[in-house]
Amino acid sequence: MAKQTADTHHADQVTGKQYYFYVLLCADATLYGGFTDNLERRLATHNAGKGAKYTRVKSRRPVKMIYHETFNDKSSALKAEYAFKHQSRAAKLKYLSAHDVKI
């Protein structure tokens, strides 16, 4: 799983809290981008059918986390999620390929 850290600002740097933008590969071969402060817990929540509405659809589970980026502030992680979600599938695949993610 690829990992990148973005150096940012904010009070979160003082507390040392980290936030993540992540990408899931769903069982139906679709992609889902999300945000969390705990990757393991969030993946388990998605696979339990209790995560985002998109991943609650039974045919999309199980999901596999194929990529994540680490941020030192919540705002930057949310911006990365927003940008990813507003791309076409082709652009998402290009983004993942540029980050050495093989699907």
pLDDT digit string (tens) for 28-41? 999 999 999 999 99
Q: pLDDT at residue 11 above 60?
A: no
Q: Give the pLDDT confidence score for residue 4 in this predicted structure.
A: 53
Integer Cα distance of 66 and 74 in angstroms: 21
Q: Give the pLDDT confidence score for residue 16 in this predicted structure.
A: 86
What is the residue-averaged pLDDT of the chain?
Answer: 91
Q: Does domain 2-95 have CATH number 2.60.40?
A: no
Task: Provide CB contacts within 8 A for 37, sequence distance 6+.
Answer: 17, 18, 19, 20, 74
Bridge-based pairing state of the strands 64-71 and 2-6: parallel
Q: Give the pLDDT confidence score for residue 15 in this predicted structure.
A: 73
Q: pLDDT at residue 47 above 50?
A: yes
Q: Give the pLDDT confidence score for residue 13 in this predicted structure.
A: 60
Domain definitions of the chain by residue range: 2-95
* Local structure of residue 86 (DSSP, 8 states): T
